[in-house]
Amino acid sequence: MGIGGRPEGPEWAEEHTTCGTEYACPAWERSTHAKKLDPALNESCRCITGYLKPTNTNNLYILAGIAPPDIRRAVASRTERRRQTTDERHPLHGHVPAPSRLKSRKSFLTSTAPLESTPSEACLAMWKEKLNNHPHSPTMHAESLPLGDNNWAKWKCLNRLRSGVGRSREALSRWGYLSGPTTCDCGTEPQTMEHLLRCPLLGGPCTAKDLALYNTKAQQCTNHWLDII
């Protein structure tokens, strides 16, 4: 763990969240039951980022610096398929699978294409394609933690501002945790996550780009809402 309880990087997450969930996945990752492992991975990534449960999982993995589990499993399978095709030492090298009798059976040897690039390049390409199909997802994606603060409280607050999901008064009222008014302390409008970035109390608006770069504006915004969201 890093300073203030923040994980040192994606290596910590991989060690604790993926070492068991990717074992022998070329044999089972095409199963309809493979996704049952994802909730445990989601919860681990929430511990890393400080995200709340309503946060979109696309954002969750971006801020955790880890590719989504379905992509990691697919890349692992394609890597193993390449080994099976090119490495004579592989137990299945040159093996010809028997014709399938059931439509539900998807053999590793017939349904998985060999990887044609490095695992890292394939992972990022598949991740980018997946995010392009979700127009409301952030565009930044890489298997490394984004810029932030080593202080856990600031890191958590920053990520909630980035995701647009936090304990604003409007959200607390919607979730049933607040029965009073939702107006911000500035008195101008309801305290939503969007309002937190342009609240007059900040002295100046903070944009999504500022949060991504974690510049002076983002630091001021994070410090101001540190004990609130």
The domain locations on the chain are 3-132, 152-224
Picking from 36, 38, 63, 17, the residue whose alpha carbon sits closest to that of residue 162 is 63
Confidence category of residue 34, pLDDT binned at 50, 70, 90: confident
Render 43-73 in DSSP notation, one character per residue. Answer: HHHHHHH---TTS-HHHHHHHHT---HHHHH
**Alpha-carbon gap, residue 210 to 205, rounded angstroms:** 10
β-sheet bridge partners, residue 183:
190
What is the CA 168 to chain-centroid distance, rounded?
Answer: 22
Residue 140's pLDDT band (boundaries 50, 70, 90)? low
**Mean pLDDT, residues 180-190:** 93
Tokens of 228: 């609130």
Q: Are 220 and 210 in contact (CB under 8 A)?
A: no
